[in-house]
């Protein structure tokens, strides 16, 4: 028995850090939105009694370091089974860019195993399990659009865009999430805008309004450390994006469009300049 699950990437349309917790984690207020860009996760039973990981991407760890592995181990432990599971990851989401690539793989593993084992857990129980592994897994289980608070596990569903596209640029370097939180903590005088304007933009299905409300608290610290982040953002705006922003803790930068042809044409233009770019629908 096997199943293939789509593991969708996400972007942060709004991301503020609202405080540091006693456990060392940070509370956030983030508006996340799924993309049609996705990995494909195939899950099947095996007779080894072990969890095995394979992928078409040689840079993905095939052991306990992989969140997909950790998610499977956590799930199997909670249902108290020694059943072996094989996981194959067809990787399409770029690695380490703030698009939720590893977390969404973990979310797909939890959802897929829940199906294979006859739904022993409710979605809310899966979300609690996922939150113990990665702050982005809860949203990646739910998908769509949501205001995510706490460490990301407190979610308020929001309307999704019906016609919005993202031109996503890979600056060809990654930014470590832990390091980015440290850089943020070491800065003073931070403002804390509310996500209200972005929420209204989604309610109005307005890419123009969303473009004005884009915000990421990590963007300036990232730009100070890696100026290319801000240069690529300016390039996207100069090329006609309605708005542009770094996603998550970086390093990928996206520009928003309400027209697929314009978005795709820009991606082709940038790709011809040897700038890694992908056009994705915001779903």
For domain 165-281, say whether CATH 3.30.70.890 is its number.
Answer: yes
Given this model, what pLDDT does residue 55 score?
98
Q: Is there a catalytic annotation at residue 178?
A: no
Of the residues 16, 39, 105, 136, only one is catalytic, namely 136
pLDDT at 189: 62
pTM of model > 0.85: yes
CATH topology of domain 2-158: Ribosomal Protein S5; domain 2 (3.30.230)
SS (H, E, C) the chain: CEEEEEEEEEEEEEEEEEEECCCCCEEEEEEEEEEEEEEEEEEEEECCCCEEEEECCCCCCCCCCCHHHHHHHHHHHHCCCCCEEEEEEECCCCCCCCCCHHHHHHHHHHHHHHHHCCCCCCHHHHHHHHHCCCCCHHHHHHCCEEEEEECCCEEEEECCCCCCEEEEECCCCCCCHHHHHHHHHCCCCCCCCCCHHHHHHHHCCCHHHHHHHCEECCHHHHHHHCCHHHHHHHHHHHCCCCEEEECCCCCCEEEEECCHHHHHHHHHHHHHCCCCEEEEEEC
Residue 23 is predicted with a pLDDT of 87
Q: For each of the chain's 283 residues, which pLDDT tens digit applies?
A: 899 999 999 999 999 999 988 888 899 999 999 999 999 999 999 999 999 999 999 999 999 999 999 999 999 999 999 999 999 999 999 888 999 999 999 999 999 999 999 999 999 999 999 999 999 999 999 999 999 999 999 999 999 999 999 999 999 999 999 999 999 998 866 789 999 999 999 999 999 999 999 999 999 999 999 999 999 999 999 999 999 999 999 999 999 999 999 999 999 999 999 999 999 999 9
Which pLDDT score is estimated for 52? 98
Query: Catalytic site residue 136?
Result: yes
The pLDDT assigned to 191 comes to 83
Give the model's pLDDT for residue 96: 84
Annotated domain spans of the chain: 2-158, 165-281
């Amino acid at each position: 028995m096997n199943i293939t699950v789509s593991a969708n990437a996400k972007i942060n349309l709004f991301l503020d850090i609202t405080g540091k917790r006693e456990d060392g984690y940070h509370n956030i207020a983030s508006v996340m939105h799924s993309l049609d860009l996705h990995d494909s996760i195939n899950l099947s039973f095996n007779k080894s009694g072990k969890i095995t990981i394979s992928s078409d991407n040689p840079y993905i760890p095939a052991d306990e370091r992989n969140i997909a592995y950790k998610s499977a181990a956590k799930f199997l432990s909670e249902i108290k089974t020694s059943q072996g599971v094989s996981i194959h990851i067809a990787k399409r989401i770029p690695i380490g860019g703030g698009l939720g690539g590893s977390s969404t793989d973990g979310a797909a593993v939890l959802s897929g195993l829940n199906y294979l084992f006859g739904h022993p857990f409710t979605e809310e129980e899966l979300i609690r399990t996922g939150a113990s592994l990665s702050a982005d897994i809860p949203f990646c289980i739910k998908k769509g659009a949501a205001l995510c608070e706490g460490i990301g596990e407190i979610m308020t569903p929001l309307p999704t865009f019906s016609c919005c596209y993202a031109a996503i640029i890979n600056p060809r370097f990654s930014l470590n999430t832990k390091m980015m939180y440290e850089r943020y903590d070491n800065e003073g005088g931070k403002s804390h805008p509310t996500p209200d304007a972005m929420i209204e933009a989604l309610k109005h299905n307005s890419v123009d309004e969303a473009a004005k409300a884009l915000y990421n608290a990590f963007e300036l610290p990232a730009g100070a450390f890696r100026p290319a982040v801000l240069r690529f953002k300016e390039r996207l705006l100069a090329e006609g994006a309605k708005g542009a922003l770094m996603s998550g803790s970086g390093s990928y930068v996206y520009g928003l469009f309400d027209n697929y042809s314009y978005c795709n044409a820009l991606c082709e233009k940038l790709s011809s300049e040897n700038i890694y770019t992908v056009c994705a629908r915001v779903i």
